[in-house]
Amino acid sequence: MRPETVAALAKANITQAFPIQQMTLPLALEGSDIIGQAKTGTGKTLGFGIPLIDRIEAPSKNGKPQALVIVPTRELALQVSEDLKLASAGRNLRVLVVYGGRGYEPQIESLRKGVEIVVGTPGRLLDLQSQGFLRLDEVRILVLDEADEMLDMGFLPDVEKLISKVNPNRQTMLFSATMPGSIVSLARRYMTKPTHIRAVDPSGDSSLVDAIEQHVWRTHQMDKIEVLARILQATGRGRTIVFTRTKRSAQRICDDLAERGFKVDTLHGDLGQGAREKSMQRFRDGAVDVLVATDVAARGLDIDDVTHVVNYECPDDDKAYLHRIGRTGRAGASGTAVTFVDWPDMARWKMINKTLGLAFGEPIETYSSSDHIYAGLNIPTKVSGRVQRGPRERKRVRRSRSN
Residue 374 and residue 359: Cα distance in Å, rounded? 21
CA 36 to CA 146: how far, in whole Å?
A: 10
pLDDT at 189 over 60: yes
pLDDT for 320: 86
Cα–Cα distances in Å, from 16 out to 23, 46, 79, 325? 14, 10, 18, 23
The CATH architecture to which 3-198 belongs is: 3-Layer(aba) Sandwich (3.40)
Total Cβ atoms within 10 A of residue 263: 17
Q: Could you state, in order of their start, the residue ranges of all structural domains in the chain?
A: 3-198, 212-391
pLDDT at position 19 is 59
Name the pLDDT band for 207 (thresholds 50, 70, 90). very low
Residue 203 confidence (pLDDT) above 80: no
Strand, coil or helix: what is 162? helix
Is residue 333 pLDDT above 90, yes or no? Answer: no
Contact 311, 292 (CB under 8 A): no
* Architecture field, domain 212-391: 3-Layer(aba) Sandwich (3.40)
CB 377 within 8 A of CB 234: yes
Within 8 A by CB and 6+ apart from 146, the residues are 40, 71, 72, 73, 76, 175, 176, 177, 299, 300
> Best-predicted range by mean pLDDT among 31-35, 211-215, 266-270?
31-35
The percentage of residues in the chain with a pLDDT greater than 70, rounded to a whole number, is 84
pLDDT band at 335 (very low <50, low <70, confident <90, very high): confident
* pTM exceeds 0.85: no
Per residue in 363-398, pLDDT tens? 999 999 999 999 889 899 999 999 976 544 444 444
Bridge partners (DSSP) of residue 212 are: 335
- Point out the least confidently predicted range of 253-262, 336-345, 386-395: 386-395
Burial of 144 (0-12, 13-18, 19+ CB in 10 A): buried
Mean pLDDT of the chain, nearest integer: 84
Q: What are phi and psi of 237, to 5 degrees?
A: -65, 135
Residues paired with residue 143 on neighbouring β-strands, in sequence order: 69, 173
Q: What pLDDT was estimated at residue 314?
A: 95
- Would you state the torsion angle of the CA atoms of residues 56, 60, 64, 66, taken in this order, to the nearest 10 degrees? 0
Under 8 Å between Cβ of 85 and 115: no
Helix residue ranges, H only, 170-272: 181-190, 224-231, 247-259
